[in-house]
């Protein structure tokens, strides 16, 4: 049976982990914006995770995940050299980068892991990239060096001012726009509320804005319907129609409301998984 080896495991902060997975067929086709579906073991649930990078020569696909639910607890318990049951993809539509000359890439929290491949590809294609990455505080900053390597300009923002500049990513974005930067497009990836407010800023200046609706994906195939959202008055599915959408057309309030439905269920599953591992350690 085909299994997928964990070639590298690296903690990025206390709750976010990077893994390189040996998956040559996925690595050959993967592009920024797409995602995979994995199962940790035979009894595990299927979860979608966005492709955070790939090495076609080595056959590796990078995933970055936050330990927030039952399955990510189990995934994080795996070590280098161990295997995952399933690793399917790439799925979804790739981020469109062709023809863009100057782009602002805005990432919030763990959403920076999704924004990074887009920034890297744009940079490789000769696009001028301005990156804005935001976090609550210094201790959870991730991927700063990687963003610096592919950005012509970068702003690191923290809510509490413990690192970089104090303030939200929207503050930094508006300052760059008011400084005279004329962007072909803004790409925003992060919490739903962050993307909503980024779009409110860019709408004032009529700058096309693409958002990734990964935060509301559940099943990853369109079958469960959990990722449905309203875009331009029509029902879309984040996993098969996206994950990227025109931010001006997304009904963020509806998406935020629907996302809250699963919080209690996920918290219960997370606590059960944590208790299980505590028993195993004893």
Give the strand pairing for 209-212 and 244-246: antiparallel
**CB of 170 within 8 A of CB of 197?**
yes
Give the Cα separation of 170 and 42 in Å (integer): 43
> For residue 75, what are its two tokens?
């995934």
> For residue 101, what are its two tokens?
């000359």
The length of the chain is 282
pLDDT score of 217: 56
* DSSP line for 246-263: EGGGB-HHHHHHHHGGGH
- Fold held by 4-91: Elongation Factor Tu (Ef-tu); domain 3 (2.40.30)
The ranges of the chain with pLDDT < 70 are 1, 215-226, 259-282
pLDDT score of 115: 95
pLDDT score of 230: 82
Give the strand pairing for 35-39 and 228-231: unpaired
Beta bridge partners of 22: 60
Contacts of 264 (CB under 8 A, 6+ apart): none
Q: Tell me, rounded to whole angstroms, the distance of Cα 139 from its chain centroid.
A: 19
pLDDT score of 269: 47
Angle, nearest 10°, between helix axes 192-204 and 169-178? Answer: 20
- Three-class SS state of 236: strand
- Three-class SS state of 25: helix
Give the Cα separation of 274 and 67 in Å (integer): 11
Taking CA atoms, 245 is separated from 15, 171, 187, 239, 262, in Å, by 28, 23, 10, 11, 23
Phi, psi at 214, each rounded to 5°: -55, -35
Contacts of 178 (CB under 8 A, 6+ apart): none
Residue with tokens 């920024």: 32
Q: CATH second-level architecture of 102-212?
A: 3-Layer(aba) Sandwich (3.40)
Integer-rounded Cα radius of gyration of the chain: 18
Q: What does the domain layout of the chain look like in residue ranges? A: 4-91, 102-212
Give the Cα separation of 179 and 168 in Å (integer): 17
Which residues in 125-160 are b (16+ Cβ under 10 Å) and which e?
eebbbbbbbbbeeeebbbbbebbeebbeebbbbbee
């Amino acid at each position: 049976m085909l299994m997928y080896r964990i070639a590298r495991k690296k903690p990025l902060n206390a709750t976010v982990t990077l893994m390189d997975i040996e998956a040559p067929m996925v690595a050959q086709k993967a592009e920024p914006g797409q995602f995979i579906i994995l199962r940790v073991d035979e009894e595990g649930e299927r979860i979608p995770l966005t492709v955070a990078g790939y090495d076609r020569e080595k056959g590796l696909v990078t995933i970055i995940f936050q330990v927030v639910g039952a399955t990510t607890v189990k995934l994080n318990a795996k070590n280098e050299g161990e295997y995952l049951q399933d690793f399917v993809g790439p799925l979804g539509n790739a981020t469109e980068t062709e023809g863009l000359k100057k782009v602002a890439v805005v990432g919030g929290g763990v959403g920076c892991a999704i924004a990074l491949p887009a920034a890297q590809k744009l940079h490789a294609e000769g696009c001028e990239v301005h990156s804005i990455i935001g976090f609550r505080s210094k201790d959870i900053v991730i991927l700063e060096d990687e963003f610096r390597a592919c950005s012509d300009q970068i702003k690191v923002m923290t809510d509490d001012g413990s690192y970089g500049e104090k303030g939200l990513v929207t503050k930094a974005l508006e300052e760059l726009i008011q400084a005279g930067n004329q962007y072909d497009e803004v790409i925003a990836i992060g919490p739903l509320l962050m993307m909503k407010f980024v779009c409110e800023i860019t709408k004032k200046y009529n700058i096309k804005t693409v958002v990734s609706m990964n935060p509301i994906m559940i099943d990853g195939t369109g079958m469960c319907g959990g990722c449905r959202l309203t875009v331009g008055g029509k029902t879309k599915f984040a996993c098969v129609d996206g994950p990227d959408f025109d931010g001006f057309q997304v009904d963020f309030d509806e998406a935020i409301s629907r996302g809250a439905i699963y919080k209690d269920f996920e918290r219960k599953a997370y606590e059960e998984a944590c208790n299980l591992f505590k028993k195993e350690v004893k």
